[in-house]
Amino acid sequence: MKLTSKGRYAVMALVDLARFDTINPVSLRDISLRQGISLDYLEQIFSKLKKNQIVKSTRGTQGGYVLSKKPNEIKLTNILNAVDEKVKTVQCKKESKKGCNGKATKCVTHNLWDELETHINTFFEKKSLQDLLKNNSERVN
């Protein structure tokens, strides 16, 4: 399973976006400055977020990014999947009958990792951007 700064940055940036995109699109430069993330790296990340329809972009002066859905409709799963931070705990191909070691049968730990995967995914599916906003600004609706 992976949880690296790419995923972390993606979430941070989107929380920032959710806070500030109410009037105008938010430029990556602003996010970069506010959150302390390299601009060039942000561009890579937002390129993926855009491909996955999590954000929309406007080019040109005064351009920037806007969320393409409401914060409560964007789940953490969506974000992490978008930037390729798939939660993958089992080693083998799940569909295959074969185990991770190439043997004919699933390994002794297969069920364990599978359970864990579900456990984590459930967590990410329940959490939305909205939850993070609430959590952090103490003031919501």
Where does this chain bind DNA (CB under 7 A)?
A: 2, 4-6, 25-29, 38-41, 43-44, 46-47, 50, 57-65
Based on the shown chain and the rule CB under 8 A, indicate whether residue 35 belongs to the binding site for a second copy: yes
Angle at 54 between CA 53 and CA 57, to 5 degrees: 80
Residue 46 contact partner, candidates a second copy, ligand FES, DNA, none, CB within 5 to 8 A by sort of partner = DNA
Residues 60-99 that bind a second copy (CB under 8 A): 76, 89, 91
Give which of 89, 74, 83, 62 is closest to 15, Cα–Cα: 74
Based on the shown chain and the rule CB under 8 A, indicate whether residue 38 belongs to the binding site for a second copy: no
Phi/psi of residue 41, nearest 5 degrees: -70, -40
Based on the shown chain and the rule CB under 8 A, indicate whether residue 108 belongs to the binding site for a second copy: yes
First to last CA, the chain: 36
Burial class of residue 105 in the structure, from the number of CB atoms within 10 Å of its CB (0-12 exposed, 13-18 middle, 19+ buried):
exposed
Residues that bind a second copy (CB under 8 A): 1, 3, 5, 8, 11-12, 15-16, 35-37, 76, 89, 91, 101-103, 107-109, 111-113, 115-116, 119-120, 123, 127, 132, 135-136
